[in-house]
Amino acid sequence: MNQKIFVVEGRQFRTESDYACARRDKEIIDKLRAETDFDDRAALQKLAGELRGGRYKFMTLLGQDFRDEVEALLKKTGSADPKTKQKKRRPAEGHKKEAASDSGRKQPAKQAAAPEKDNSAMEEIVAQELRKRERRRKLILVACSAAAVCCLGYFAVYSYYDYRTQSSYQELSELKEKPVIAPVATPTPGPLYTLDGESKPREVLEEYQNLLLKNQKFIGWVKIEDTNIDYPVMQTTDNEYYLDHNMNQEYDRNGTIFMDKDCDVLKPSTNFILYGHHMRSGRMFGQLDKYEDESFYEKHPYISFDTIYEKGTYQVMYVFRSRVYKETEIVFKYYQFIDANGEQEFASAMEEMAAISLYDTGVTAQYGDRLLTLSTCDYQEKDGRFVVVAKKISEGLESEN
């Protein structure tokens, strides 16, 4: 469909709004032509000065055409013979009005040629600007499309990992309830200890034998009621590995809950330290910081943690924020408190944790008690950590040969 074109004073306008602006400019120009004696140099100079000073606001190129016309006439009158100007100064009134109203359409060829040339240059400038705007629009569109694809891709990958993680741990939970595929009589290679120091094999709890057969790095299971925390716990000699791998040895940004490499469930250590990511989805230890609220602690004072050899119930003692310190900083580092060398060192660690605890649980521990520490990231400061410490209050069932 052909676009409607509007014409005013030889100028073409494509939209009705531009046409309306051109009509307004024409009314101003016609009025100025009617009020000004174009043969009077003084009158032309006054009009030219007003046009240069911006007294009249034009919204279209008609204004520029009129300014060019006035300047051209002013220049011409300046070079004309004074006697000729005197003869032409007082034309008949009717002729003057006619000339004023028709001057835009009856310009001499030389005067019309200059505006035509200016119009072509202006149209080329406008066309170039439109092409630049179109290129910018296309670039922005491409950039936005690429960003949208990246976001959708990230969301798809994140959803896939989340779904796979959830399905995997659901399968592991069900595996605990299934009949034992093959009995496990001995643990992973290494020295074997019992509480009295005798060296002899210890039986793996029946419900965890299938999981141990699935992965020899499996070391226990941690659970907190009314949270997403209900996961197997792994342990290896590299504390970095399970930050981005799941129990099936697959890359997984959720990682896996794992025990510090220096802890020992056979000996056992004074303090079992478990680490897990603080996922925004709430996975892993993403809901551990619920203990920041004392009312949550009051309703959930116990944490279940079983090693592959024994069940355990732990009572929460301390909840605090800390961070990973530099080796040169002399300060209590909870993540280094694994085995107490004596009663004094144990008591000192308890005092340090009690001093920074967010609230007083009233629960204390004595030298010889078994501890459980859950640690996750805390984003209130750089390298921050949110920590929950509990003591074992129930041995559960333990089976030995």
Query: Hey, is 344 helix, strand or coil?
Result: helix
Task: Report how many helices (DSSP H) and strands (DSSP E) the chain contains, helices first.
Answer: 9, 10
> Cα–Cα distances in Å, from 158 out to 202, 254, 376?
40, 10, 20
Separation between Cα atoms, residue 162 and residue 159, nearest integer Å: 5
- Are the C-beta atoms of 61 and 115 separated by less than 8 Å? no
State yes or no: is 377 an active-site residue: yes
Left if phi > 0, otherwise alpha if psi is -120 to 50, otherwise beta: which for 343?
A: alpha
Q: 324-330: which pairs have CB atoms within 8 A and are 24 or more residues apart?
A: 324/383, 324/385
Do 30 and 101 contact (CB within 8 A), yes or no? yes
What are the residues facing 303 on neighbouring strands? 314
Could you give the 3-state DSSP secondary structure of residue 308? coil
**Non-local CB neighbours of 385 within 8 Å, separated by 6+ positions:** 321, 322, 323, 324, 334, 335, 375, 376, 377, 378
Cα–Cα nearest to 34, from 47, 20, 52: 47
Whole-angstrom Cα distance, residue 384 to residue 389?
A: 16
177: closest CA among 224, 218, 209? 209
Q: Which of 150, 151, 263, 377 is catalytic?
A: 377
Strands 271-275 and 371-378: parallel
CA distance 360 to 386: 16
Whether 308 contacts 341, CB under 8 Å = no
DSSP letters of 23-54?
HHHHHHHHHHHHHS-TT-HHHHHHHHHHHHTT
DSSP category for residue 256: -
Amino acid residing at 40: D
Beta bridge partner(s), residue 274: 259, 374
Q: How many residues are recorded in the chain?
A: 401
Q: How far is CA 308 from CA 142, 146, 265, 397, in A?
A: 55, 49, 8, 11
Residue in this structure with the two tokens 């006697």, named with its chain if needed: 83
Residues that are catalytic: 377
